Amino acid sequence: MNELISLMTRKTGLKTEQVKNILGLLEDGATVPFIARYRKEATGQASDETLRDFERIFIATRNLLERKEEILRLMAERGKLTPALQSRVEAASGLAELEDLYRPFREKKSTRGARALARGLGPLADILEQGRQDPKQVYDEARAYLGPEVATREEAIQGAKDILAERFADDPNERRILRREARQNGVLEVKSGREFDPSGVFKQYAQHRERMAAIPSHRYLAIRRGVRQKQLSWKISLNTERFLENIRRLKAGKAKQGSGPLLLQACTDGLNRLLLPSIEREMHRELKERSDRQAVSVFGANLAQLLMTPPVAGRTILGVDPAYRTGCKLAVIDARGIFQDKATVFPTPPYSDYEGARRKVLELVERFGVDCVAIGNGTGCRETREFFVRLNQEQGVSLEYTVVSEAGASVYSASETGQQEYPDLDVTVRGAISIAQRLRDPMAELVKIDPKSLGIGQYQHDVDQRLLERKLKQTIEDLVNRVGVEVNSASPSLLSYLAGITPGLAKAIAAHRMEQGLFSAKKDLLRVKGLGPKTFEQCGGFVRIRNGASLLDNTGVHPESYEAAGRLLKDHEVQTVTPEETRSLAGDLGLGLQTLEDILFELKKPGFDPRQDLPQIPFQQGLLDISMLEEDMVVSGVVRSLVDFGAFVDIGLKNDGLIHISQMSSKRIRHPLEVLAVNQYLPRIRVLDIDPDRQRVSLSLKE
């Protein structure tokens, strides 16, 4: 445990006491949201992000220590463990270094060197490596190894060279030097493959060279996909001349009066046949892991921004799922999110029934008081927006609309969740409801959908799926708990992301709510079957009850602090408590300073939703056609997705425009996330270039 704490302190940069406290809380089953929010004194106010990094480093460090123990045990069992080797194993700081140390002692069965050892040629390899005999003497020595399995002296010497080749390739120092060279100066060379399509998506990589240290994750994943599809081929190029010179000087040089040429042949074979391919595989693993982490990080950041989009509260919304032949599906939800009515209209080709669509929409507007429209961005979106623009112009209804990503709506419509929520409705109507609900409360609706179906990442199917799943789950969990969950209206999908709540418990909460009535206090959750004190400790602070028995139940104050919060409310005017008073009050109430500051914030703003402080969803009444655009024209738009190389922005066209990263700021930025966010409204965007044939528009934020 002491070694773990020491390593974690060094790797995380946290203080030893913080590391001990966090490890203790995790060991006790505490969740990251709970630790970040309600144990700030113990962690030094570590954020969700810091704790997630801590958790990741902790898992990797624990795996390293476990692997050390395993390697020491295996080497001891085989009688190979020396005090010097044990010290090197114990001092290893990473898995690569550790595996290098163990590599020479691994059992090998099918290699050329292993077969030579099995034929008893190890001593001959030792003679050859010592280099004290000339080639003629070596050939004379080889006669002693002839037998049923070794027919000739040439075969014996080749077997000895195979053994030496593997020794060279397994040498930890040689591997370390070549690995460092590959990381610093290795070049990824890409060429066209057997099934290359000159006009395909990989044409730009047909002749491509790039230093591995500099290649961005999105480009590496794109090239990797091309290699997998056999449209591209690749190799990692290294300047090996220096290594060959070292072999000549250090390995064969000392034996140049004897068996140096044979030793040089063996080491050169070990370099080219074994060591270089092994390091190349390692480099691809490292590049893939690095690219996966970057892509997953971008995906998580996009998801976080999407989920934190402010809800459109207090409005009756018409959800529209556009289409051509099958018509646009309409669904009305009221301000509480309750489904009211549905319809199908045909304002788009091939029918273009403007009059019929106009009558039906106006009827729904009048009957339910619809005051805004959420239009899905799928097929027919352009023509559907044109219909509402014309409706506004001709009827004077001033129906504001916004385009909502419908990615994943069809997945939700056919899902078990969709069937349970709207069992009597067609899947297409469920899609329209989902589009409307995404506008009303993006977080509550989008957690019902597999995040990978939301269309907000890059190369999501190419990355490590376990890493992606873990990142997405953690992102949703952190945000849901940061916002809080109204337990009397939340779906089981949303409840399942509360700290400590499993999907089974989420269903049990919803069932209890249905059978026993609404919860009037947070403590009533303890009546739910399977929800005990430990789980309540984790989730209790994140639950909200809007019209509960106590004001505290609609805040982020944890039930464990209710007594102190009650005394605070009784004896003080919380709106006027000064920072100086806060410090003295913390001692009087038996609370940590950070905990008291959080309680005061909650008491000043009961029911506060952090999404309220973010820019609101922009609505439109008109739109553009690409033929209306000119270079240097200034337009407005909404960021729909961020990738490593830029941002896709909806400016009212059929396709989103692209702001390349180089056009985002006059200052150099490393990633679009530094300056932009998903769903961010951009009031001034300059049109840089227009390609009508491909319906592409390049944009710029530079004046």
Q: What is the pLDDT of residues 222-231, one digit of tens each?
A: 999 999 999 9
Burial of 471 (C-beta count, 10 Å sphere; 0-12/13-18/19+): buried
Q: What would the mean pLDDT of 273-282 be, rounded to a whole number?
A: 96
Share of the chain above pLDDT 90, in %: 68
627: confidence class by pLDDT, cuts 50, 70, 90:
confident
Is beta strand 232-237 parallel, antiparallel or unpaired with respect to 187-192?
Answer: antiparallel
The contacts of residue 355 (CB under 8 Å, 6+ apart) are none
Q: Taking 80 as the threshold, does the pLDDT of residue 442 lie above it?
A: yes
Rounded to an integer, what distance in angstroms lies between the CA atom of residue 431 and that of residue 409? 5
Confidence check: pLDDT of 242 > 90 = no
CATH 1.10.150.310-classified regions of the chain: 483-613
**Rounded Cα distance, 597 and 157, in Å:** 78
Hey, what CATH topology would domain 317-456 get? Nucleotidyltransferase; domain 5 (3.30.420)
Please calculate the CA angle 701-702-703 and round it to the nearest 5 degrees: 115
pTM over 0.85: no
**In angstroms, rounded to a whole number, what is the distance separating the alpha carbons of residues 509 and 492?**
8
Mean of pLDDT over the chain: 91
Beta pairing, strands 328-333 & 317-321? antiparallel
Query: Residue ranges of the alpha helices (H) in 191-337?
Result: 217-228, 241-246, 260-269, 276-307
Q: In CATH, which superfamily holds the domain spanning 626-700? A: Nucleic acid-binding proteins (2.40.50.140)
**Phi-psi bin for 405: left (phi > 0), alpha (psi -120 to 50), beta?**
beta
Task: Summarize pLDDT for 49-86 with one digit per residue, the tens.
Answer: 999 999 999 999 999 999 999 999 999 998 999 999 99
Residue 623 has pLDDT above 70, yes or no: no
Q: What is the CA radius of gyration of the chain?
A: 33
Q: How far apart are CA 58 and CA 76, in angstroms?
A: 27
Host H or E run for residue 232: strand 232-237
Fold type of domain 112-186+238-299: Tex N-terminal region-like (1.10.3500)
Q: Report the phi/psi class of residue 120: left, alpha or beta, with left for phi > 0 and alpha for psi in -120 to 50.
A: left
Residue owning tokens 């057997």: 194
What's the CA gap between 173 and 246, in Å, rounded? 13
CA distance 457 to 464: 13
Class of domain 483-613: mainly alpha
The mean per-residue pLDDT over the stretch 665-694 comes to: 86
- Residue 616 is predicted with a pLDDT of 74
Residue 621 above 60 pLDDT?
Answer: no
Query: Distance between CA atoms of 479 and 8, rounded to whole angstroms?
Result: 26
Domain limits, CATH 3.30.420.140, in the chain: 317-456
Domain with CATH 1.10.3500.10 in the chain: 112-186+238-299
Cα-based distances in Å from 571 to 243, 564, 567, 585, 589: 77, 11, 6, 11, 11
Residue 457 reports pLDDT greater than 80: no
User: Rounded to an integer, what distance in angstroms lies between the CA atom of residue 294 and that of residue 301?
Assistant: 11
**Band of residue 444 on the pLDDT scale cut at 50, 70, 90:** very high
Q: Which of 16, 634, 581 is nearest to 7 (CA)?
A: 16
| 369-413: pLDDT as tens digits | 999 999 998 889 889 988 998 998 888 888 899 888 888 888 999
Query: Could you tell me the pLDDT band of residue 184, with boundaries at 50, 70 and 90?
Result: very high
- Cβ-contact 230, 195 below 8 angstroms: yes
Pair of tokens at residue 372: 């805004």
Which pairs from 69-73 meet CB under 8 Å and 24+ separation? 71/98, 71/101, 71/102
Is-cis flag, bond preceding 350, omega within 30?
A: yes
Strands, sheet with 232-237, edge to edge from the N-terminal-most edge strand: 207-211, 187-192, 232-237
State the average pLDDT over residues 249-278. 80
What is the rounded distance in angstroms from the CA atom of residue 72 to the CA atom of residue 63?
A: 14
**Domain span(s) for CATH 1.10.10.650 in the chain:** 2-105
Q: Which two tokens stand for residue 401?
A: 């609309």
Check whether the bond before 83 is cis (ω within 30° of 0).
Answer: no
Q: Are 186 and 237 in contact (CB under 8 A)?
A: yes
Chain CA centroid to CA 501, Å: 22
Does residue 257 register a pLDDT over 70? no
Question: How far apart, in whole angstroms, are the C-alpha atoms of residue 365 and residue 317?
Answer: 9
How remote is the C-alpha of 41 from its chain's centroid? 29
Which H or E run includes 436?
A: helix 427-440
Asked if 459 contacts 297 with a C-beta cutoff of 8 angstroms, the reply is no
Share of the chain above pLDDT 70, in %: 98
pLDDT surpassing 90 at residue 269: yes
- The answer on pLDDT for 613 being more than 90 is no
Question: Residues 289-312: pLDDT tens digits?
Answer: 999 999 899 889 889 988 998 999
Judged by average pLDDT, the poorest of 246-260, 366-380, 532-546, 686-700 is: 246-260
Looking at per-residue confidence, does 227 or 255 come out higher? 227
Q: What is the mean pLDDT of residues 20-34?
A: 96
Superfamily designation of domain 2-105: RuvA domain 2-like (1.10.10.650)
Residues of the chain with CATH 2.40.50.140: 626-700
Residue 251 has pLDDT above 70, yes or no: no
Half-sphere exposure of 466 (CA within 13 A, CB side): 1
pLDDT digits (tens, 9 = 90+) for 530-578: 999 999 999 999 999 998 889 999 999 999 999 999 999 988 898 888 8
pLDDT confidence of 695, banded at 50, 70, 90?
Answer: confident
CA separation for the pair 427, 411 (Å, rounded): 10
The pLDDT of residue 395 is: 86
Q: In whole angstroms, give the CA distance from residue 595 to residue 94.
A: 38
Q: Please, which pLDDT band fits residue 218 given cuts at 50, 70 and 90?
A: confident
According to the model, what pLDDT value does residue 453 have? 85
Q: What is the dihedral of CA 193, 196, 199, 200, to 10 degrees?
A: -90
Amino acid at the residue 620: Q
Number of neighbours of residue 245 by Cβ within 10 angstroms = 11
Q: Is 60 exceeded by the pLDDT of residue 669?
A: yes
Q: Are 625 and 651 in contact (CB under 8 A)?
A: no
Residue 255 has pLDDT above 70, yes or no: no
Residue 148 has pLDDT above 70, yes or no: yes
Would you place residue 620 in the very low, low, confident or very high pLDDT band (cuts 50, 70, 90)? low
Q: Kindly tell me the sign of the dihedral angle through the C-alpha atoms of 473, 611, 334, 341.
A: negative
